[in-house]
Amino acid sequence: MSEEKIEFYKGPAAGWGALRAVTNALLQQEATLKGGKLLLSANQPDGFDCPGCAWPDRDHHSSFQFCENGAKAVAAEATSRRAGPELFAQYTVTDMMGQSDFWLEDQGRLTHPMVYDASTDKYEPIAWDDAFALIARHLNALPDPNQALFYTSGRANNESAFLYQVFVREYGTNNFPDCSNMCHEPTGTAMNRQFGVGKGTVTLDDFSLAEAIFVLGQNPGTNHPRMLTELRAANKRGARVVSFNPLRERGLERFADPQDKFEMATFGSSPISTNYFQLRVGGDLAAIKGMMKHLLEREDAGEAVLDHEFIATHSVGFDALAQDLRSESWALLAQESGLSEAQLHEAGELYRCAGSAIICWGMGITQHKHAVATIQMIGNLLMMRGNIGRPGAGACPVRGHSNVQGDRTVGICEKPSAAFLDRMRDVFGFEPPRKHGHDVVDSIRAMLDGKAKVLFALGGNFAAATPDTFEVWKALRQCDLTVHVTTKLNRSHIVHGREALILPCLGRTEIDVQAGGLQGVTVEDSMSMVHISAGINAPASEHLLSEPAIIARMAAATLGDRSKTEWLWMIEDYNRIRDKIEAVFDDFKDFNARIKVPGGFRLRVAASDRIWETASGKASFLTHPVLQDTASHRARATVRDTVVFTLMTTRSHDQYNTTIYGQDDRYRGVFGQRRVVFINAEDIRALGMKDGDWVDIKAVWGDGVERRADKFRLVSYDIPRGDIGAYYPETNPLVALASVAIDAGTPTSKSIPVVLVPHGA
Ligand SMILES: Nc1nc2c(c(=O)[nH]1)N[C@H]1C(S)=C(S)[C@@H](COP(=O)(O)OP(=O)(O)OC[C@H]3O[C@@H](n4cnc5c(=O)[nH]c(N)nc54)[C@H](O)[C@@H]3O)O[C@H]1N2
Ligand SMILES: Nc1nc2c(c(=O)[nH]1)N[C@H]1C(S)=C(S)[C@@H](COP(=O)(O)OP(=O)(O)OC[C@H]3O[C@@H](n4cnc5c(=O)[nH]c(N)nc54)[C@H](O)[C@@H]3O)O[C@H]1N2
Ligand SMILES: [Mo]
């Protein structure tokens, strides 16, 4: 573990620092080394899909398609440590509750299915069949299937996710809370309405052609390191890379490619962003409106700016938007974006001058109250110059988990369409439930209200990833049964229902053998490419089951003879599952044949071909006002005696969501600690404090509930005044359950109104 220090990071992102970190990741985890061979198999044909992020691979034949953080994800799974029955015999659950999240995961891979015994307050081994019988007993005893919740985290592969939704719908509910609800849900909502498709419209080939790439609310140096290779290449060939981010992110400034021998040999590095707009947290909608207003002004001044042909042929709603933009005041746009009028013109001009442009976005856009509106503004901006559905141009939401997009594609959705349910009925012969189910926030409410009694989770860490932590813990503890399919121990297993199961599964790096032989699974990346993934490591324990096997055996135990599906036959050979996926979804035609092609295939994205599967048959310009009544606005109007900050919660370089690999955040210069607040030096002075002082953070939602997170160190940082940043999940207790994105229900974890008080005051 590093010594606690704050030290400005002078190096480029990636480069030698990254290679050193890769080596350390493997050594620390004592990964079965094989490590080297393991890494060479990540994102390779005949290897496994990297469990890190959802960024696609350019060349499935190059031998180094991994990155530092992918290596950490692989090393975390391939660790030689084991959390077996001996560990659980040693600690009560109450003991484990006192341990950190880092400690829990650091115990290593789970080896046996375990059941909670209330009389000893310990988890004890249970036979798989007994575990499935316990689940079946609970599910079949519920008076209404809607009292059960089925969570999915985005690492689940297509085959497991598909089988899971078949089982859950045959059982009788659409209660599918999933990590998407906390992530890119607003993207799906916004784009479906606007373009008739909820996915990105670009491929990597477009990245090679774009004259400008805009990166909004994303930290690729940490979360999608392989994306830097694309951005650097764009920069090198003279394209503009324009970042919008309140924080000065090192990974958006300079980058040394560990896969570039020359840069490594010379300790060189390349710039990433050509332009960096440090707007205010939540200021993107106003900033984009400013860019559009600029375009319109230039057009009105007689320049050829707009793509009239596109607007006339492909869209509706432009006149209303133009009218709204003309009447919008520059002063308001500048105030709410935090950029000057001149900067808004400059950003608009950068966009205007590009023959083709891609706009990328991440959590800095989606985790706000007005996320859906902001994303539709991105769509408007693209359409004004016809930058969608042609080479080098389009929308690029950058997804998180490696298969989060695929899970949605194969049916993990709490609001399924009628057409999809009809297909499910025709293919599987049961009548699926039509009533829409609960998303993550509604699921938490249902548990709190006693309306949901069983939570089953396919991966993830529900107790740590969700907002309003202590409410969630209360909710989980009220359940009759909580079940987690998982690879490692985490908080969700320790904060459990009256009865509880931990079901350990194979990871993506491991060999999966079923009755029909060696199996592979499929995943879909952020650009709709679907390909096969097959592990190469021996399973962490002989007692592990694959995720499809766990689902099938649970389904068989629960539904018994009532089921129309031959569950155990399906999992003998995953080709059979894929045949069913093909039967339900036309876009998977010839699925089993097409995954044999190295690199796989791209699913159809209608908007990429300028086909708009919307009600009007056209793409829509949509008009939204600049929000002036967010929780921060309201808090600023009511709190008089001190400054209200807008807190955004983000990831460090050494974590994968709730999994903490280490205590460093190298590019931001933070070492040996995580409880820090990034804050403008002027704001520290205004508070009458010093850099390095300890503070407690208190949320001000105005609902009378005290929400706080204590003991954070102030770190002066290049961030606008009034905005601060800190890491998730430590700050989740500050996020009010009721504060969600309009029309998408996503917790607003990037805009939390807070005040800072001296620690312990
Ligand atoms: N190594 C690693 N890789 C990961 C993950 C991980 O935890 N570790 N998580 C995965 C998952 S599930 C996801 S969803 C992605 C997340 O990847 P990102 O989308 O990069 O998510 P965050 O780390 O939350 O970073 C958000 C960025 O948005 C900026 N930001 C905050 N508020 C605003 C705002 O209002 N406007 C703008 N323009 N910017 C803002 C922050 O400064 C930060 O740079 O990464 C995936 N990949
Ligand atoms: N405040 C705040 N909250 C946030 C966010 C934020 O930016 N700020 N981000 C949100 C986002 S974008 C997301 S996606 C969610 C993430 O929410 P989740 O997806 O629920 O959380 P993860 O931390 O990714 O889940 C990690 C766990 O997955 C399990 N796991 C790992 N590999 C496998 C596998 O192969 N199979 C199975 N079955 N289990 C496995 C391990 O046990 C590990 O502990 O958090 C959200 N919460
Ligand atoms: Mo995510």
SS3 per residue for 273-310: CCEEECCCCCCHHHHHHHHHHHHHHHHHCCCCCCCHHH
User: Does residue 368 sit in the same domain as residue 510?
Assistant: no
Strand partners for 359: 214, 395
User: Minimum-distance ligand to the CA of 281?
Assistant: 1
CATH number of 356's domain: 3.40.228.10
On the 0-12 / 13-18 / 19+ scale of CB atoms within 10 A, 590 is: exposed
Report CA(648)–ligand 1 centroid distance (Å).
10
- Residue 370 Cβ < 6 Å to ligand 1: no
User: Does residue 240 sit in the same domain as residue 288?
Assistant: yes
Q: Tell me how crowded residue 535 is: count the other CB atoms within 10 A of its CB.
A: 25
- Residue 459 Cβ < 6 Å to ligand 2: yes
Does the pTM surpass 0.85? The reply is yes
pLDDT at 64: 45
User: Does residue 460 sit in the same domain as residue 591?
Assistant: yes
First-residue to last-residue Cα distance in the chain: 30
- Residue 397 Cβ < 6 Å to ligand 2: no
CA distance 643 to 650: 21
Assess if residue 63 is contained within a domain.
Answer: no
Assess if residue 624 is contained within a domain.
Answer: no
* Closest residue to atom 16 of ligand 1, CA basis: 400
pLDDT at 63: 41
Assess if residue 619 is contained within a domain.
Answer: no
Report CA(626)–ligand 2 centroid distance (Å).
32
User: Minimum-distance ligand to the CA of 152?
Assistant: 2
- Residue 249 Cβ < 6 Å to ligand 1: yes
pLDDT at 41: 66
CATH number of 532's domain: 3.40.50.740
- Residue 368 Cβ < 6 Å to ligand 2: no
Domain tally, the chain: 3
Report CA(464)–ligand 2 centroid distance (Å).
8
Q: Left (φ > 0), alpha (ψ -120 to 50) or beta: where does 297 sit?
A: alpha
User: Minimum-distance ligand to the CA of 727?
Assistant: 2
Assess if residue 597 is contained within a domain.
Answer: yes
User: Does residue 438 sit in the same domain as residue 565?
Assistant: yes
User: Does residue 149 sit in the same domain as residue 198?
Assistant: no
- Residue 222 Cβ < 6 Å to ligand 1: yes
- Residue 374 Cβ < 6 Å to ligand 2: no
pLDDT at 262: 61
User: Does residue 467 sit in the same domain as residue 483?
Assistant: yes
| DSSP character at residue 537 | B
Say which amino acid occupies 121: D
Report CA(104)–ligand 1 centroid distance (Å).
24
User: Does residue 103 sit in the same domain as residue 209?
Assistant: no
CATH number of 746's domain: 2.40.40.20
Which residue, 398, 429, 448, sits at the end of a domain?
Answer: 398
- Residue 363 Cβ < 6 Å to ligand 2: yes
CA distance 20 to 173: 48
Q: Which helix (H) or strand (E) holds 152?
A: strand 148-152
- Residue 219 Cβ < 6 Å to ligand 2: no
Atom in ligand 2 nearest the alpha carbon of residue 492: 44
User: Minimum-distance ligand to the CA of 401?
Assistant: 1
Query: Are residues 683 and 717 in contact, defined by beta-carbon separation less than 8 angstroms?
Result: no
Which residue, 377, 398, 419, sits at the end of a domain?
Answer: 398
pLDDT at 366: 98
User: Does residue 391 sit in the same domain as residue 410?
Assistant: no
Instruction: Based on DSSP, count helices (H) and strands (E) in the chain, helices before strands.
Output: 32, 33
CA distance 264 to 286: 41
User: Does residue 370 sit in the same domain as residue 513?
Assistant: no
Say which amino acid occupies 149: L
pLDDT at 62: 45
Query: Are residues 612 and 195 in contact, defined by beta-carbon separation less than 8 angstroms?
Result: yes
Q: By C-alpha distance, which of 148, 205, 203 is closest to 173?
A: 148
pLDDT at 59: 67
* Closest residue to atom 4 of ligand 2, CA basis: 465
Q: By C-alpha distance, which of 534, 521, 527 is closest to 581?
A: 521
Measured between alpha carbons, how far is residue 203 from residues 57, 311, 390, 395 in Å?
10, 23, 11, 10
- Residue 504 Cβ < 6 Å to ligand 2: no
* Closest residue to atom 33 of ligand 1, CA basis: 364
User: Does residue 92 sit in the same domain as residue 157?
Assistant: yes
* Closest residue to atom 12 of ligand 2, CA basis: 183
Q: For the chain, which ranges sit under pLDDT 70?
A: 1-2, 10, 13-46, 59-66, 257-268
Assess if residue 623 is contained within a domain.
Answer: no
Q: What is the DSSP string of 101-145?
A: HHHHHHT-EE-S-EEEETTTTEEEE--HHHHHHHHHHHHHH-SSG
Assess if residue 412 is contained within a domain.
Answer: yes
Q: Which helix (H) or strand (E) holds 464?
A: helix 462-465
User: Does residue 737 sit in the same domain as residue 664?
Assistant: yes
User: Does residue 207 sit in the same domain as residue 243?
Assistant: yes
Q: Sheet with 254-256: list strands edge to edge.
A: 13-14, 254-256, 270-271
Look up the domain containing 225 and give its range: 185-398
CA distance 573 to 200: 32
Which residue, 338, 369, 398, sits at the end of a domain?
Answer: 398
Query: Are residues 387 and 311 in contact, defined by beta-carbon separation less than 8 angstroms?
Result: no
Measured between alpha carbons, how far is residue 503 from residues 456, 559, 563 in Å?
10, 19, 23
Assess if residue 71 is contained within a domain.
Answer: no
CA distance 229 to 251: 11
Assess if residue 560 is contained within a domain.
Answer: yes
